[in-house]
Structure 1
Amino acid sequence: MAEDAALAFLTARGLTLLERNARFSVGELDLILLHGDTLVFAEVRQRKSEAFGGAAQSIDARKRRKCALAAQCWLKRNPRFADASCRFDAVLLTGTEDDWRIEWIQGAFVFEDVF
């Protein structure tokens, strides 16, 4: 449900979905979208509250590395995007399905942060 809400939020802001839940042996990509000419790999995280660090804190170094490795796999599988500008975004949902608070962090991390 959180992923559906994140996707609706992003498409309402002009992003176009390319793929959802792309799985590779090294990790999974929640949402892959186009934002203009920029390829966006969006990590969706949901927490009921900010207790214990909230949704942003759950995207740790290990998770960022998995996302980056999965993005490399996706780009190899989709060579037409090989020269595209890429960005890793985080879509953070706090609360419950009836009352999400959504925060969109564009450029939450970059490849260079991971390797």
Structure 2
Amino acid sequence: MDLSHRIDEAKRRVFMTIRDGATGPAVVRYIAGLAAERPELAGWDWVQDVRESSGEVDNADIQAAADIFGRTGPCWTVFVSHDPNLRLWCRVMDALFDGRRHLAAATPEAAAAMLESLRAETSLAVA
């Protein structure tokens, strides 16, 4: 399968793997299905592993995903990728998503560590 996910209930985190055969519209449909089944996932942190993806996503796909998520936050999506330019796309996505920020990491472990750090900072700011 080109798309898969697992959910970490305790950390309120969705891990999604997007492989080479997945198109942008297919990814959007997949996310829409998850959000329809469990609307609270839109406010959780997401890790999207796109290392095996061709990156065939356009602006319309990104806007459609932003519309699915709606107003959330503070929450993050971390893309696991070896593409050094993905960080620039993350900035564009930040402008399209209301309350969700986007980052890039080289490994799933680095993505998880990044989210742990961000969540710790957010907890300290609230306390």
TM-score with structure 1 setting the length: 0.36
Larger strand percent: 1
Name the structure with the higher helix share. 2
Give the structure-2-normalised TM-score. Answer: 0.34
Greater relative contact order (Cα < 8 A, sep 6+): 1
